Chain A
Amino acid sequence: MIARNRLTEIGVTRLIQLAGFSSIIFMGMILYFLLTEGVPALGEVSLRELFSSRWYPIEGFYGILPLITGSLMVTIGAMLIAVPFGLCAAVYISEVAPPRLAAVLKPLVEILAGLPSVVLGFLGIVILSPFLRRFLDLPTGLTAFTGSLLLGGIAIPTVISISEDALNNVPRSYREAARALGATGWQTIWGVTVPAARSGILTAVMLGVGRAMGETMAVMMVTGNAPVLPSSLGALFEPARTMTATIASEMGEVATGSEHYHVLFFIGIVLFLFSLVVNLIASRLVFRSKGRAERVLS
């Protein structure tokens, strides 16, 4: 009986180990594939050409700079919308709303998170973009800003859902202690609950950034896909082309092994590096905030 228990124990341990390692293995395989397909681009196209400002692959112009700035513009714009809105909504659901209302809001937000982005893209092209063109008097409604709004909308449910979980996990005693010290409701939220849930909220923001940067379909439908290098802040209200949209729309037709093919994979590497940097920054921040929280609480 004991031997059998031990066998089960070992079996289960190995199974879990395998599951744990599999994510590393998959990551490694993806990285290997990206590198073998993308690095040859550096040999075929000079770095100077690669970081020039003209993207027109069918004539041999492989400047990915406008694609990088396009992605950055749309993603940063989306986060400027999603983080404040998402965080406020999470605080409302977790701290302010009466329990009965919160019980309705939370599942609704989760349904929203599961909405296919192509549906939002369709709404964007039919409703949002014509509205923005008239309302802001723009030459066209297909702009980086339209993409940011849509992506913000796509990222908000993720941000709400995860930061709400983090807020919920803050022990009740923290809030009670703050109220006992005479803090108002607002002071408790801003001074105690939110800082205590900081690492969870940062995770939420990070996942939101990931969702926004990796989103393809909705962005392709509403940003106009013009690879223009932005010259001022006004470029936010002009068409832009993101890295993901470029890969999605061009990969299907490109000849395997051609220059263009390798450059598209190189864009994949750049995207990968971006998400790596976002992750590194976030984990650095989470680590630091823990140190401070521990100091305060001990």
Chain B
Amino acid sequence: MSRYRFILIILLAGLLLTGCRGNPGGENDAPASANTINNKGSDTLVNLGLAWAEQYQALYPEARISVTGGGTGVGIQSLLNGTVQLASASRQITERELQTARAGGIEPVEFVVAQDAIAVIVHPDNPVEQLSLQQISDIYSGKINNWSEVGGEDRPIVRLSRESNSGTHVYFLEAVLRMGREDDRTLFAPQTLLLPSSEGIIAEVSDNPNAIGYDGLGYVTPNVKVLAVSADEDGPYVLPSEETVNNGTYPIARDLYMYTAGEPQGMLLDYLNWILSPDAQQIVSALGFVPVPVES
């Protein structure tokens, strides 16, 4: 929080200083300074974005990067109306957003900056080690209600999920509950507990042997057990890791994106190039996300 505030204060100070210089051109929409980058969007990417910004500003003291969350939709919206130069997204830009962008004369450019795997977690005492996607889907949609149906003890299943406004929730709904089928209208069972934070899910799973939850691999702590997941019934069951996400064998993984309005230039281009460098991708693994393969 204090880091975030610090960056914000720096940004505000920067804005004030540029204000002193005056703006003879009268172009109010122009970025406050060529060295300022506003990055807004996916809550999944906030911590990573902050770590990148901090490191980059340590390397290039003249850079001013502010990072805020709010959700992927909010970030892309801000990019399209010109309030930020960089939108972080936990999903690809939608057709509708692309149309709005083109109507406004903006051609969004996409960068895959990291990968995220969603880990399915249970209490460490739960004997269940692995589940297929179909089983997880049946658990969350309410078809399976007892752990004994998937090889566990005779205990009721308590389903935990993030709130429906989180990108992780939507991704889990599409990739796991509906198993990627467009026409599938499967929903979360109404009994699913919707918790407002990742920490809430970890806290409940680590305490409650009945619980099953999911969360970004980056948020999983050692006091919960991560399950191996298979795409179909007869395996292979794969634990999420950097390796299994990169070679595509872990089934619940996704790319994380950054979008710019038009081809990036100047410092923005430099920043994005740096993000894709081995140094910056090291931060990705440090925060529990999965780095993208670096092209040389």
A residues in contact (CB < 8 Å) with B: 53-59, 61, 66, 125-126, 129-130, 133, 139-142, 220-221, 224-229, 238-239, 241, 249-250, 252-255
Contacts and interface: CB of A to CB of B under 8 A. Distances in A.
For A59, A66, A253, the residue with the greatest tally of chain B CB atoms inside 10 Å of its CB is A253
8 contacts: A54-B190, A57-B164, A58-B164, A58-B170, A125-B203, A139-B210, A225-B195, A249-B165
Given A59-B187, A249-B196, A253-B71, A225 B208 contact: no
Contacts of A55: 190
B163 A249 contact: yes
Interface string B14-25: 000000000000
Interface in B166-219: 170, 185, 187-188, 190-196, 200, 203-204, 207-208, 210-211
B193 A253 contact: no
Contacts of A226: 190-194
Question: 7 closest A-B pairs (Cβ-Cβ)?
Answer: A253-B165, A224-B193, A139-B156, A225-B194, A140-B158, A228-B190, A58-B164
B291 interface: no
Contacts, number: 77
Q: How large is the interface on B (under 10, 10 to 19, 20 to 34, 35 or more residues)?
A: 20 to 34
Contact of B208 (A140, A238, A253): A140
A133 B196 contact: no
- Max count, chain B CB within 10 A of own CB: residue among A54, A58, A224, A226: A226
A57 B173 CA distance: 14
Interface of B: 70-71, 73-74, 155-156, 158, 163-165, 170, 185, 187-188, 190-196, 200, 203-204, 207-208, 210-211
B211 A140 contact: yes
Contact of A56 (B156, B158, B187, B207): B187
B164 A250 contact: yes
A221 B156 contact: no
A239 B163 contact: no
A105 B210 CA distance: 42
A153 B215 CA distance: 32
Contacts of A53: 190
A64 to B, nearest CB: 13
Contacts of B74: 253
A246 to B, nearest CB: 10
Contact of B204 (A66, A140, A229, A249): A140
Contacts of A129: 204
Nearest to B170: A58
A82 to B, nearest CB: 25
